[in-house]
Amino acid sequence: MKIGDLARATGVSPRLLRYYEEQGLLTAHRAGSGGHRRYAEDAPAVVGHIRALLAAGLTTRVIRELLPCVVGPGPEFEHCAAGTLREQLRGLEDKITTLQGARSALSGILATTVPSEGHEG
């Protein structure tokens, strides 16, 4: 499958597909005298997995670790992904807690702000 075909099949730009390849997330083989990229038939599913994992907030480094554990079109994961997924979830929960604290502090500061004359805040 050529890069343009993969882009059309997935809705992902060729530039982004090349980025996924640079990050080690997607594999292309060079074919012919022009050295055009050719992707395996399962490439649309792989791109779908990458997109789903990016949407879950995972970095390309983490996705590169997880892709060998993907099974099926879901993606579903083999047990080898469990530790990494748990670690990422804990990190996300920590960030949420930090953001909630910051939101609460900012709300408290805003509540004590006195509007200046002639201006509404």
Assigned domain for 76 exists: yes
- Structural domains of the chain, count: 1
Assigned domain for 94 exists: yes
| Contact (Cβ atoms closer than 8 angstroms) between residue 46 and residue 87 | no
CATH for 41:
1.10.1660.10
pLDDT in tens, 54-73: 999 999 999 999 999 998 87
Assigned domain for 69 exists: yes
The pTM of the full predicted model, rounded to 2 decimals, is: 0.80
Assigned domain for 116 exists: no
**pLDDT value, residue 36:** 84
Domain that holds residue 93: 3-111
Assigned domain for 29 exists: yes
CA distances from 91 to 30, 58, 72, 84, 106 (A): 38, 11, 26, 11, 23
Place of tokens 């997995």: 49
Assigned domain for 120 exists: no
